[in-house]
């Protein structure tokens, strides 16, 4: 089975701190990491490869530095990497990203399954997976928490929903996005580190993937950011004092004031 | 091609742009700002610069005639004929937006048996209901739902289409936007109208809630957004309201490539956490798995849903659908009890838009207290039994 995994490089979000004086995000010295959800996508691809054989290609769109992220996944046993990198890709929203990825994936050629992380931790849109599937004209499902069966031309998987999960049969080729519940990612092994040395990373630009620049980057993005601002949390926290009983009583008094809520 | 440059002779090296850049894509070199290649052309720096030292050239966009697109549509997600709460919230918000645009509000509902649902949609503010009833549409299915919505949007041309940011909404909406080649904004928490340009201003949290971004879709229609549940307010339903019910003819796609084989509900509490008005969330401070029972008991007592931080889920004390935070679900209830949750940024990302946050934690310095309205500093294992007792008594009195 040939699998393509979509990965994104994001700022290491653990370090997001606020500058209390200027009320802005301190971003200095923040390292770029692989989007945490994509690690599970890579692991799931590796698991399928372990059991059924085949080839895994990781694809990303971004600046040249994103090669580092691709190297990281090659070290885990991914066979090859593709980086789509061009100034004409800058400023892409989820639609333009999906279009660009679809052109890159078409150039990669034959594939059975495309796996994405549920969402990226910088934008949190969760839109690229479904949008990409549409651009490729293949089915998709999101929030996959378990792959139960891998058939010749289908998979059966569990999809986390707001109330529990659905069991979905999806015919291949298809796009799935995965949640972190799906597996426990591995670390590189000596064997995979060794084979990664010979693994290739291809860097393709607009022309290489035959993309139309009217549909990539800022120009190909229907959505535009017009304003960004820091949300204010000025709640004036009220901390209750006294014994536990007194604290709880005071809290209950405040909350039960919100009468409509407790109209049981 | 779009481009952004620092005009060196105007740049005074004040670093305002550096602070405004959400992507860390500006650095200082010889006391002048330099834009790095990870710039996404978002334009945040341009408005921050007080010296017009940033030259941002956008591509010329040939204005299209978008006047054929009219009306606001709400996708009415339903399960077994029961409409999701978020749909009523969206209708309430759509009424306000429609007033400013001087247009009407429609709900679009797909399912098997929708008579009661249709009435309810009108009672909650829909002027029109587009209804497609077919037994093939009983369960949500991205493939067939997306295909039908594409047909309807192409036929009736709404200017705005809103979806609840539920699991299904966030899967369906991007598929449709991609089909239609239009813009889609994810998980919005504020919607407004730019009255001059008649555009939908879509505001959403990014970077785990540390930054809010307002987004527009000026040259494509419809303008599409998914909207976070529990943020918008539904109106009081009026069952005497009348509306048009339209049953359009659509082509039902056959030979589907996605099949729902089974639907399993496993939420421990009756209420899905995204839909709950009250959430009782447990964190590491709960100590051990046995105390989860106390959390559940407290939730039952006050009619809330049980949630948890990542630490509790990773420990296996509750199942993943209960997880709130960046790697779990995003919720915005009226009251959120953060019990033994310190409030790591990843957790706050999933619950900071709750109306009232109540925090119980033994560490008075825990970040959760910064966003909490009410706080109790103390050992959760001692406070929780007291909370249960207190609320049990008070609630009894309130009911009487």
A30-68: pLDDT as tens digits: 788 999 999 999 999 999 999 999 999 999 999 999 999
CA distance A225 to A236: 31
Nearest chain A Cα to B16, which residue? Answer: A22
The class (CATH top level) of B273-399 is: alpha beta
Could you report the per-residue pLDDT of B181-231, keeping only the tens digit for each?
999 999 999 999 998 999 999 999 877 777 788 999 999 999 999 999 888
Helix (H) or strand (E) holding A262: none
Per-chain mean pLDDT for chain A? 90
CA distance A196 to A11: 25
If you search the block for the tokens 């009661």, which residue do you land on? B116
Q: In the A/B pair of chains, how many CB contacts fall below 8 A?
A: 328
- Bridge partners (DSSP) of residue A32 are A11
Among the listed residues B247, B246, B238, the one whose alpha carbon sits nearest the alpha carbon of residue B125: B238
Nearest chain A Cα to B392, which residue? Answer: A252
CB-closest option in B143, B184, B394 to A256:
B394
User: Residue B41 and residue A218: Cβ atoms within 8 Å?
Assistant: yes
CB-closest option in A25, A124, A127 to B174:
A127
Greater confidence (B184 vs B40) lies with B184
Nearest chain A Cα to B386, which residue? Answer: A245
Of the pLDDT bands very low, low, confident and very high (cuts 50, 70, 90), residue A14 is very low
User: Residue B206 and residue A122: Cβ atoms within 8 Å?
Assistant: yes
User: Residue B258 and residue A170: Cβ atoms within 8 Å?
Assistant: yes
User: Residue A224 and residue B215: Cβ atoms within 8 Å?
Assistant: yes
Q: What distance in Å separates residue A50's CA from the closest CA in chain B?
A: 25
Q: How much is the average pLDDT of B86-92? A: 97
Structure tokens at B37: 């290649």
Structure tokens at A187: 């670390």
Could you report the per-residue pLDDT of B109-124, keeping only the tens digit for each?
999 999 999 999 999 9
Statement: residue A244 has pLDDT above 70:
yes
Interface confidence, given as ipTM, is 0.89
CA distance A60 to A67: 9
Could you report the per-residue pLDDT of B339-350, keeping only the tens digit for each?
999 998 889 888
Could you report the per-residue pLDDT of B52-84, keeping only the tens digit for each?
999 888 776 666 788 899 999 999 999 999 999
User: Residues of A with CB below 8 A from B214's CB?
Assistant: 225-229
Of the pLDDT bands very low, low, confident and very high (cuts 50, 70, 90), residue A223 is very high
**CATH entry 3.40.50.620 includes domain A2-215:** yes
Q: How much is the average pLDDT of A10-28? A: 56
Can you say whether residue B125 is alpha, beta or left, with left for phi > 0 and alpha for psi between -120 and 50 degrees?
A: left
Statement: residue A21 has pLDDT above 70:
no
User: Residue B356 and residue A255: Cβ atoms within 8 Å?
Assistant: yes
User: Residue B395 and residue A264: Cβ atoms within 8 Å?
Assistant: yes
Per-chain mean pLDDT for chain B? 91
CA distance A242 to B299: 24
Q: What distance in Å separates residue A38's CA from the closest CA in chain B?
A: 12
Q: What distance in Å separates residue B140's CA from the closest CA in chain A?
A: 10
Greater confidence (B267 vs B133) lies with B133
CATH no., domain B3-57: 3.30.70.20
CB-closest option in B183, B265, B386 to A248:
B386
CA distance B380 to B378: 6
Helix (H) or strand (E) holding B68: none
User: Residues of A with CB below 8 A from B273's CB?
Assistant: 162
Peptide bond before A211: cis, by omega within 30 degrees of 0? no
**Looking at domain B72-246, which of 3.30.930.10, 3.40.50.150, 3.40.50.620, 1.10.3720.10 is its CATH number?**
3.40.50.620
Q: Where are the domains of chain B?
A: 3-57, 72-246, 273-399
CA distance B347 to B18: 27
First to last CA, chain A: 54
User: Residue A128 and residue B174: Cβ atoms within 8 Å?
Assistant: yes
User: Which is it for the CA torsion B290, B296, B298, B301, positive or negative?
Assistant: negative
User: Residue B24 and residue A167: Cβ atoms within 8 Å?
Assistant: no
Threshold 0.90, pTM exceeds: no
Q: Tell me, what's the pLDDT at A122?
A: 83
Buried b / exposed e over B108-139, threshold 16 CB at 10 Å, is bbbbeebeebbbbbbbbbbbbbbbbbeeebbb
Tell which of A225, A246, A252 to mutate to test the B interface (max B CBs under 10 Å). A225
Say yes or no: do domains B72-246 and B273-399 share a fold.
yes
Contact predicate B187/B212, CB 8 Å: no
Tell which of B41, B143, B383 to mutate to test the A interface (max A CBs under 10 Å). B41
Nearest chain A Cα to B220, which residue? Answer: A222
Greater confidence (A242 vs B40) lies with A242
Q: Tell me, what's the pLDDT at A23?
A: 46
Could you report the per-residue pLDDT of A66-87, keeping only the tens digit for each?
999 999 999 999 999 999 999 9
CB-closest option in B1, B142, B211 to A25:
B211
Strand bridging mode A224-229 / B105-111: unpaired
User: Residue A13 and residue B345: Cβ atoms within 8 Å?
Assistant: yes
User: Residue B171 and residue A142: Cβ atoms within 8 Å?
Assistant: yes
User: Residue B258 and residue A141: Cβ atoms within 8 Å?
Assistant: yes
Of the pLDDT bands very low, low, confident and very high (cuts 50, 70, 90), residue B397 is low
User: Residue B177 and residue A95: Cβ atoms within 8 Å?
Assistant: yes
Nearest chain A Cα to B381, which residue? Answer: A244
Q: What distance in Å separates residue A140's CA from the closest CA in chain B?
A: 8
User: Residue B326 and residue A124: Cβ atoms within 8 Å?
Assistant: yes
């Amino acid at each position: 089975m040939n699998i393509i995994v979509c990965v994104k490089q994001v700022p290491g979000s653990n370090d997001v701190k606020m500058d209390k004086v200027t009320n802005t995000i301190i971003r200095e010295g923040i390292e770029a990491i692989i989007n945490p959800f994509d690690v599970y996508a890579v692991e799931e691809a590796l698991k399928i490869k372990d059991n059924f054989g085949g080839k895994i290609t990781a694809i990303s769109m971004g600046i040249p530095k994103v090669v580092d992220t691709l190297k990281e996944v090659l070290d885990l046993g991914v066979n090859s990497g593709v980086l789509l990198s061009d100034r004409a890709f800058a400023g892409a929203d989820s639609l333009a990203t999906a279009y660009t990825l679809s052109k890159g994936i078409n150039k990669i050629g034959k594939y059975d399954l495309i796996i994405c992380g549920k969402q990226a931790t910088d934008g949190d849109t969760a839109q690229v997976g479904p949008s990409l599937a549409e651009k490729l004209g293949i089915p998709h499902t999101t929030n996959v928490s378990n792959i139960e069966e891998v058939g010749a031309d289908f998979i059966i998987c569990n999809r986390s929903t707001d109330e529990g999960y659905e069991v979905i049969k999806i015919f291949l080729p298809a796009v799935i996005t995965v949640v972190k519940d799906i597996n426990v990612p591995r670390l590189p092994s000596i064997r995979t580190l060794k084979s990664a040395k010979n693994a290739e990373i291809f860097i393709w630009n607009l022309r290489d993937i035959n993309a139309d620049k009217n549909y990539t980057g800022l120009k190909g993005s229907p959505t535009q950011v017009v304003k960004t601002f820091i949300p204010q949390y000025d709640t004036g926290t009220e901390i209750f004092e006294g014994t536990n009983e007194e604290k709880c009583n005071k809290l209950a008094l405040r909350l039960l004031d919100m009468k409509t809520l407790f109209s049981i | 091609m779009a481009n952004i440059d620092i005009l060196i002779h105007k740049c005074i090296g004040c670093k305002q742009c550096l602070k405004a850049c959400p992507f860390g894509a500006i650095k200082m070199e010889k006391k002048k700002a330099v834009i790095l290649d990870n710039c996404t052309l978002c334009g945040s720096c341009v408005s921050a610069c007080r010296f017009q030292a940033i030259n941002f050239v956008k591509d010329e966009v040939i204005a299209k005639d978008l006047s054929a697109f009219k009306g606001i549509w709400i996708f009415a997600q339903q399960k077994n004929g029961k409409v999701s709460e978020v749909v009523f919230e969206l209708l309430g918000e759509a009424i306000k937006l429609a007033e400013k645009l001087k247009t009407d509000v429609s709900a679009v509902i797909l399912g098997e048996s929708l008579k009661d649902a249709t009435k309810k949609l009108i009672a909650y503010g829909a002027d029109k209901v587009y209804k497609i009833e077919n037994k093939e549409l009983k369960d949500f299915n991205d493939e067939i739902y997306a295909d039908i919505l594409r047909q309807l949007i192409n036929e009736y041309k709404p200017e705005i289409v809103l979806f609840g940011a539920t699991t299904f909404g966030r899967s369906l909406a991007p598929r449709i936007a991609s089909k239609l080649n239009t813009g889609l904004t994810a998980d919005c928490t504020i919607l407004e109208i730019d009255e001059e340009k008649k555009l939908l201003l879509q505001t959403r949290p990014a970077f785990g809630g540390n930054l809010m971004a307002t987004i527009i879709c000026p040259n494509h229609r419809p303008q599409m957004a998914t909207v976070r549940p529990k943020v918008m307010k539904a109106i009081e339903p009026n069952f005497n309201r009348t509306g048009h019910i339209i049953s359009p003819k659509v082509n039902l796609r056959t030979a589907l490539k996605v099949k729902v084989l089974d639907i399993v509900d496993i939420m421990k509490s009756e209420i899905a956490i995204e839909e709950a008005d009250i959430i009782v969330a447990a964190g590491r401070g709960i100590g051990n798995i046995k105390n989860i029972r106390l959390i559940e008991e407290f939730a039952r007592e006050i009619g809330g849903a049980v949630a948890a931080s990542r630490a509790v889920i990773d420990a296996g004390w509750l199942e993943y659908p209960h997880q709130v935070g960046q790697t779990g679900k995003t919720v915005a209830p009226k009251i959120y009890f953060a019990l033994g949750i310190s409030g790591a940024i990843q957790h706050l990302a999933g619950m900071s838009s709750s109306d009232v946050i109540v925090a119980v934690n033994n560490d008075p310095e825990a970040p959760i207290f910064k966003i909490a309205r009410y706080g109790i500093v103390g050992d959760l294992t001692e406070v929780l039994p007291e909370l249960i007792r207190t609320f049990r008594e008070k609630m009894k009195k309130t009911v009487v």
